[in-house]
Amino acid sequence: MLKIYGIKNCSSMKKAFDLLNTLGLSYEFHDYKKHSIDAQHVQQWLEQAGAEVILNKKGTTWRKLDEHQQRAALDNQSALIDALITHTSMIKRPILETPHGLIVGFDEEKYRHLTQ
């Protein structure tokens, strides 16, 4: 089964939900706002996809961090994990766990390949 992580009120999440439903793919939704996220999941994602893929530097939450906080998160994986757990909006959305690995961010082509 697919598991999708993010927050409900996000345009990328809405696109992902709509396409998954259109494709008839069943999935479980994990809402960070309701259920947060644990360090183990974040660490696994970082190991699979890397910090540059998982960390959303374009969002306002990242930009609101001061330079020292940003540097600490970039220089130390445990500091990055703590930052991502504390500020889940800094995790790129959506993250879709599939039997073949992660799809980070909404990628219509990759979602469509899940039906093949």
Considering only CA atoms, which of 82, 85, 83, 105 is closest in space to residue 10? 105
Going by pLDDT thresholds of 50, 70 and 90, the confidence category of residue 90 is: very high
In this predicted structure, what is the pLDDT of residue 69?
92
In this predicted structure, what is the pLDDT of residue 1?
85
What is the total count of domains within the chain? 1
How far is Cα 75 from Cα 83, in angstroms, rounded to an integer? 12
CATH number of the domain at 96, please.
Answer: 3.40.30.10
pLDDT at 92 over 90: yes
List, for residues 44-76, the tens digit of each pLDDT value.
999 999 999 999 999 999 999 999 999 999 999
Whether 82 and 69 have beta carbons less than 8 Å apart is answered as: no
In this predicted structure, what is the pLDDT of residue 81?
97
The CA angle 83-64-46, to the nearest 5 degrees, is 30
List, for residues 7-48, the tens digit of each pLDDT value.
998 999 999 999 999 999 999 999 998 999 999 999 999 999
Query: What's the start-to-end Cα distance of the chain, in Å?
Result: 15
In this predicted structure, what is the pLDDT of residue 6?
96
pLDDT at 116 over 90: no
Whether 32 and 5 have beta carbons less than 8 Å apart is answered as: yes
Annotated active-site positions, please?
A: 10
Q: Quick one: what percent of the chain has pLDDT higher than 70?
A: 100
Range of the domain at 79: 2-113
